[in-house]
Structure 1
Amino acid sequence: MTQQSPTAQVLPMPGRGTGVTEDARSIEWPDVVRRLRSGGFRWFTSLRPDGHPHTRPVFAVWSESVLFTASKGTARKSRNLDVDGRCSIATEVDGAHVVVEGVASRVVDEETLRQASAAFQDVYGWPTRVAGDELDADYGAPTSGGPPYRIYQITPTTAYAFPANGDFFPTRWTF
């Protein structure tokens, strides 16, 4: 995979109470990627078959130009993504609220599964291994349903960064 070069647009902030300081700057995409490569929980939203959102905390890792997330095959989010891959991931890291919208697809090839496994190890210290078309692990989150896990690759279509403390301008990137 090659690193995508998204197009940035600073979002206008009309009105009072926007909170951006006079010395605010634009946030650069590499700063957002650094935040996406950090650990912590992400809020993942997929769409139920009836169109209603389904939001849950997940592990998600940035690797090269995509996000990876793991999901039990019987989980609602897996069933949602198998029907409609549109989704979003949101997090707050180092004074930035980051939202990535994209399209998820299930990963089944060994090379990409190994890439996802390495990313989970690097970011979360979570050792996983390829087992057929899923990742297996000795443990998982108590609410995960337990291993093995399907891996979904989220290809971004749009990303946003909003300042939590007013030190940069809200920015949108399109891919």
Structure 2
Amino acid sequence: MRPTSERIDRRYSDEAGQAVPWTEAEARLAVAELAWVVTVRPDGRPHATPMVPVFHDSKVYFHTGSTEVKYANIQANPHVLVLAGDTAWERGLDVAVEGTVAPVTDDALLRKLAELYRGRWDGRWELEIKDGAVVSDMPDTDIVVFEVTPSKAFAHAKGDPFSQTNYRL
């Protein structure tokens, strides 16, 4: 995916700051072992939780149980914010992606995502796919994989120099 707009925001950047190319922001998302997903509760309050993401074909994917708060929030409002980065001040790149989510039910895509999960961590995030769904080992809970289709993103380069890049996607 190529952004339709990619510009440095001088209000939040050092004079020497440069725009971060979208390819670098995508690379940061691709290696994130953990990210935060922010959903909106029905009463308008935010809900943030860490999750294990997979980045594939310019989209972020995550899974959750059908009895979790973020699942209920998504059912009422599909708009999310995904944050990947770290808490360091003088180094690194933080990326925030705004978008809408939809459940993934395509068997081939689910199998590809399961393969990507298997190749990233120590084996604790393995997904079994059958007939277009994740096989759940939790009683009375379905596991749903969501695809985040981004609409806007921000990259915050930290250190010397600091910069903020805004993307329209």
Structure-2-length-normalised TM-score: 0.84
After superposition, give the CA deviation of every residue in 1:4-46 in whole Å (9 maximum; x if it has no partner).
Answer: 21120211227xxx5x363x33211111111101132211101
Which residue does the alignment assign to 1:115? 112
Are the equivalent residues in 2 in contact too, given 1:9–1:172 (CA < 8 A)? Answer: yes
Are the equivalent residues in 1 in contact too, given 2:19–2:165 (CA < 8 A)? Answer: yes
Summarize the Cα distance change of 1:80–1:26 in structure 2 as closer, same or farther, 3 Å threshold: same
Are the equivalent residues in 1 in contact too, given 2:32–2:85 (CA < 8 A)? Answer: no
Give 1:145 deviation, angstroms. 9.0
Are the equivalent residues in 1 in contact too, given 2:98–2:152 (CA < 8 A)? Answer: yes
Summarize the Cα distance change of 1:158–1:145 in structure 2 as closer, same or farther, 3 Å threshold: farther
Give 1:111 deviation, angstroms. 1.7
Which residue does the alignment assign to 1:129? 128
Unpaired segments ≥5 residues, structure 1: 139-143
After superposition, give the CA deviation of every residue in 1:92-144 in whole Å (9 maximum; x if it has no partner).
Answer: 15611110010001111212212221222233353222134432377xxxxx9
Are the equivalent residues in 2 in contact too, given 1:69–1:151 (CA < 8 A)? Answer: yes
The two structures, once aligned, show a CA RMSD in angstroms of 2.5
Unpaired segments ≥5 residues, structure 2: none
Which residue does the alignment assign to 1:95? 92
What is the aligned-residue identity percentage? 21
After superposition, give the CA deviation of every residue in 1:54-112 in whole Å (9 maximum; x if it has no partner).
Answer: 10111111101211001011111111112211001112156111100100011112122
Q: How does 1:1-175 map to 2 (within 5 A)?
A: 4-6=1-3, 7-13=5-11, 20=14, 22=16, 24-92=17-85, 95-125=92-122, 126-136=125-135, 149-167=143-161, 169-175=163-169
Summarize the Cα distance change of 1:145–1:157 in structure 2 as closer, same or farther, 3 Å threshold: farther
User: How many correspondences in the alignment?
Assistant: 162
1:30 match: secondary structure: helix
2:113 match: secondary structure: helix
